[in-house]
Amino acid sequence: MDGKRDVWQTVMVIKEALDHLDHTCAATMTEAQTLAAMNAMRRLADRIGAEAAIWTDRAAKTCAAEKAAGTPLSDYLATAEARNPKEALGVIHQASRITTDPQVRDAALAGTVSPTKAAAIGAVLRDLPRHEMTPAQRQAAAAELLNTAETSTTRQITGSADHVLERVAPDLAPSAADKAARLERQRRQAVKNRALHFSEETDGQVRFWGQLPTLEAAQLKAAVQAAVEHGRRDESDHIKALQQQRRSGTLADTEYFTARKQLAEQEARTTAQRQSDALLDLTRAAGETAGHNGGATRTGEAARLVVTLDYTSLLNLATTAAQSGTRPDDTAMTPDQLNRLTGTLETGQQIPASTLRRICCDVDILPAILGADSAVLDVGRTRRLITPQIRAALRLRDKTCVFPGCAIPAAVCDAHHITPWWAGGPTSLDNLATLCRHHHGVVEPDRFNPAADQWTITLDEHKRPKLTPPRRLARHLATAQDQAPAQGQTPEHRENSAHGSGVDFRGKAVVPPGTESSPAGMGHRDDDPPEQTPLIA
């Protein structure tokens, strides 16, 4: 083999070397040597990362996960490596960009450019008019980007397409009209890519992030900033009014200082806090406007919170407990008892009694009465509620797409018939599960091959969805080991051996058929890597 090793031999050598690395040598190293060691290890990590990208891209292009494990590659990575679902999809896309050009791929493998920069270069090369460029120009463009990568940030590389064209193909460089047209294209793409995401944290907070086209983002920023300034003016006007009342004698000094103390917290807010408050003010104003217009949204359903209460809490709140702090028999409740009157949003987050009492006055409440094992007994209906009760009950039960690792909210998911409608399955809560569009396609039974080896759904003893992976995936990961095949033994030999059918270098097993999988967070696979000619055989 001319001194070369196959992938299994290479993995074995690297693992053995790392296993025998003596970290105690760090105690005798100088600071310069420590930095040198750090740089060497980081370059090595980049090279291994590039190799992983090459094999990931090959797995994507050959549909290896679908064929070997009956699961899309993004879901396979999320399951096998316990990855964030969006991170898993990003790994696939980055691998595809790294392999866009042979020069870029080889530079990443040699460690002369990091995988992150190689992916950025690949993205730029894809955006160039490659079909109008000669092979020499395409090679020159890749070389130009690689030459500048050492001194350029990833962001600078991403925005260097025009510069590259001016250097290697000036006749194809965009004119002023071309740049204007590109801005229009970018605008259309930005509109397509608009997004807003929410993530419920475990400490009483919700993190949210997203992206907007430049114009709409500017409008939002302007609205928030205007609300911030409006709040500042209100504070200033309030202080001036207090000072005037104090001078005129209508407000005593003690009353004045008490009022100023109450304002101190508002005045001490940071800019970030003011912007947060301004956004909430805008949201409340929009909600009030919707209420004056009948409360209907574009979907025909009023924006609402679904709050789940146990029956005793609902009974207390239905009387005067929330307002007066007394039980139905007029006996006083202790502060601790009042604090235990909590509700649960349909996202699963609990809200304290003080917040619940406040939102009861401000938002549309859809009560859901729960019995033993949190089984839905009844779903209330508000005046404007037009969504069928079974949909509301399904959302309340599942909360998100029930596929393992998927956190797409139930409100934007499909209702999947566990026993298909075409097979006689009823449309009832006991035969429905919530699935996002992507995973609905993964789970949907094959009408023409009902025995197909694929993901299936059943209900557990508590009438909650339980997913079972394909037998192929269970075999592939349940027997995963943390070592490569023995030297000279091919993956096919190992797959046909008596000890298993697959290799997972993290040694992580998945839930076998018949074992419950609980829903967690996994997202859509919105797009796939573009078709390319495989760069490794």
pLDDT over 80 (residue 253) = yes
According to DSSP, the β-strands at 305-310 and 343-345 are: antiparallel
Please list the residues that pair with 467 across neighbouring strands.
457
Continuous segment of H or E residues that includes residue 311: helix 311-318
Lowest mean pLDDT among 26-40, 168-182, 299-313: 299-313
For residue range 186-219, what is the model confidence (pLDDT) as tens digits? Answer: 888 988 999 999 888 888 888 889 999 887 887 8
> Which 3-state string (H, E, C) describes 505-517?
CCCCCCCCCCCCC
Lowest mean pLDDT among 107-121, 130-144, 260-274, 479-493: 479-493
Whether 432 contacts 418, CB under 8 Å: yes
Phi, psi (deg, nearest 5) at residue 327: -80, 170
Among 119-128, 246-255, 282-291, top mean pLDDT goes to 119-128
Phi, psi (deg, nearest 5) at residue 182: -65, -40
pLDDT over 90 (residue 23) = yes
For residue range 381-440, what is the model confidence (pLDDT) as tens digits? Answer: 333 233 467 788 888 888 889 998 888 888 778 888 888 877 888 878 888 899 988 888
The Cα 238–Cα 262 span in angstroms is: 12
The Cα 312–Cα 335 span in angstroms is: 17
Q: Say what the pLDDT of residue 351 is.
A: 52
Would you list the domain boundaries of the chain?
7-192, 212-290, 307-361, 378-480
The Cα 151–Cα 141 span in angstroms is: 17
Q: In this structure, what token pair is assigned to residue 248?
A: 């005129």
The Cα 351–Cα 532 span in angstroms is: 50
Helix (H/G/I), strand (E/B), else coil: 283: helix
pLDDT over 60 (residue 39) = yes
Whether 224 contacts 212, CB under 8 Å: no
Q: Say what the pLDDT of residue 477 is.
A: 66
Mean pLDDT (the chain) is 75
In the chain, the percentage of residues whose pLDDT exceeds 90 is 28
Q: Say what the pLDDT of residue 289 is.
A: 62
The Cα 445–Cα 108 span in angstroms is: 42
Q: Say what the pLDDT of residue 496 is.
A: 40
pTM above 0.85, yes or no: no
Lowest mean pLDDT among 23-32, 164-173, 348-357: 348-357
